[in-house]
Every structure is written in C-alpha cells, then in structure tokens.
Amino acid sequence: MKILVATSNQGKAQEFRELLPKEAQVVTLGDVGIAAPDEPSNTFAENAAAKARAGALASGLWTLADDSGLCVDALGGLPGVSSARYAPTDAERRTKLLAILIRTPEGRRRAHFQCALALSSPDGQRLFRAEGRVDGTIAGAPRGANGFGYDPLFVPEEEPEKTLAELETARKNELSHRGRAVRRMLPLIEKLLRDGDLTA
C-alpha cells in the first residue's frame, strides 16, 4: 500500500522508510509531483496537520506528515518551528546556532527535539496524531555523518558521549523524536496496512 510522506527532504524520507513497516510503499512529494505544502502555523502539531491534509487532497493517498524542530532552552525554545528555515543549508544552520551559543556554557546548552506527526485520510476528513520528544544538549562542534539537519550537534541524554549523527542507525531511530512519534502511531499504521482503511 502506498503511503505519501509529505516531505521533499530525502534524509527525513529515508528515516520514515526505516521506521515504517516493510509493507508500506513510501512515496514522497517529489515522487508524486506535488510541491511542498505550506507550514502556516506557529505550532508543530498544526503544521503537521496542514501538511498531511494538503498532501492527501493533492495525491488521493493516505498521507503522513511531520513537523519537527530543535528547541534550545537558552534561546527561549528557538529555532523551534523555524528550524528548517533558520539558514539556507544544514551546514549554515549549524554554524549559525553554534555562533549564537558561543558564550553559553556547557551546563546551559539544554535542548530537545520535538516531532508532531499527522496521518490524513485521502479526503482530508480524518486525522490521526502522535508526538515524540528527545532531550539532550548541544555539542560544541558538529560530530558524525549518520544524520542530517542538527543531528551532528545534538547529544541525547541516553547517549551522553555521542551526537545523534554518531549513533548506529537502529539506535538513532530508537532514540529520535521522529522514531518515538512513529512508534506511537505504529498500531494505527499497521491497521491501515492490514485493513486498507481507518475509522476516526
């Protein structure tokens, strides 16, 4: 069964392919020729819902969308919902964040990744939600290549010697905000794959 993951970010699409059941045929916005939906809200949950509905209505497919970001305590929760728009590229986003935090001591570099997940029926009328979070700190410099975005800067509480990008894929997906959100929604996704539909 095809499930549209409403993203054009190939790193995020790969994570979904790893996290979802093998029976799910994951397609992305690029695969179905749809432009990236707007993110009209200042909350992760409402942005995820808007993207899921827009993707579903445009494609006629069950659509999974997430809105996620890095929230740094010392910055009042920024970059937050603006994480992907903080600077033009992943590398520039990391550089900008480190520059802002350059005088922030290690003990005040607390942060968390937040993920809001939404699954929309093809007609956009039924919406199912889940959330995931991972707490940690911001490293002094990027480390690791197994990740994207802010992963090379984020040290999760459960692995205090490694950034997310230094972890093996299975461990990274176990700890990540996106992995936790998907696991909370997995019973619904498995039912959808088995029955071909979900009731609200």
Q: Is 42 inside any structural domain?
A: yes
Rounded to whole angstroms, the Cα distance separating 184 from 165 reads 23
Count CA atoms closer than 13 A to 65's CA, side-chain side: 31
Rounded to whole angstroms, the Cα distance separating 82 from 61 reads 27
Looking only at the bridges linking them, the beta strands covering 63-72 and 25-28 are: unpaired
Q: Is 180 inside any structural domain?
A: yes
- Render the burial of 162-178: b for 16+ CB within 10 Å, e for the rest: bbbbbbeeebbbebbbb
Average pLDDT estimate for 103-132: 96
Q: Is 200 inside any structural domain?
A: no
Q: Is 160 inside any structural domain?
A: yes
| Residue-range definition of the domain harbouring residue 89 | 2-195
Give the model confidence (pLDDT) of 18-43 as tens digits: 999 999 999 999 999 999 888 889 99
Predicted TM-score (pTM) of this structure:
0.93
Whether the upstream peptide bond of residue 160 has omega within 30° of 0, thus cis, is no
CATH number of the domain encompassing residue 49: 3.90.950.10
Task: Give how many domains the chain has, as a whole number.
Answer: 1
Q: In this predicted structure, what is the pLDDT of residue 150?
A: 97
Q: What residues are annotated to the active site?
A: 67
Sorting pLDDT into bands at 50, 70 and 90, what band is 200?
low
40 vs 170, residue with greater confidence: 170
